Each structure stands twice: as C-alpha cells, then as structure tokens.
Amino acid sequence: MRETTPGSCYRGAFPKDYYALSNILSGAKYVVDLSTIKNDGGGSQYTFLEAIDFGCALILHEDWLQNDKTRFISGYNCFTVQNENDLVELLNADPDTTTITENAKLLLEPHLEANGW
C-alpha cells in the first residue's frame, strides 16, 4: 500500500497552503457549498473549518443539517438554502453575518484543543 501525506492527493487549482487560502478567503463574506453528501460524518469538512477560521459565513444546502451528528444550526452558525433561488434571495438580502460567524467560531474550539492551540 502506498502511503500518502496530508494534502498529497490534492489536485486543486491553487496551492494547498495557508497563504493561498488567505488570499482567497480574507476578503470574502460568504463561502457557499450547495453539495450534499449522504450520511456525511457531521459536516466538519476542511473547507468549512477554513471558511469559519477566516470569518466567512457558511451558506450550506439545508440537507447538511439532516445528519444527526451535525453541529450546524441554520440561522445560528450558518445559513442554509434549498436551491439556487433561495441562494439568490439570501445574497440579495445581504444579512448581517456577525452573530453567525461568532457562533461558528465555537465549532473550531475542539479542533484547536486537539492540536494543543
């Protein structure tokens, strides 16, 4: 079996490092992910955690919240939409994201503690 290091299978369009993420996310208000993954393990994808770390409000497909293990709560630590029309409506409304992003940062604590931060 071939061993891999974290990130060695990454084939994205930008480097997989903090500086590239900073350039992409530091000016963003939202990160949108309308994908759905059946029986996902709770929604702690790296992209979600990275977005939260950079102060972006997550906009997720509402199916993400159907998993019993998820810690995401619509209107508390993320926004949810069902389709592209809901997304357009939410973006046009341009809601204040301060409370959403503050509450979302609480989701980072277990990951920071696990790494001794």
pTM above 0.85, yes or no: no
pLDDT at 28: 94
Q: Who's near 78: CB < 8 A, 6+ residues apart?
A: 57, 58, 59, 60, 72, 100, 104
pLDDT of the chain, 117 residues: tens digit per residue: 455 555 566 667 878 788 888 888 998 999 999 988 766 655 567 888 899 999 999 999 998 888 777 889 999 999 999 999 999 999 999 999 999 999 999 998 876 665 555
Give domain limits for the chain.
18-114
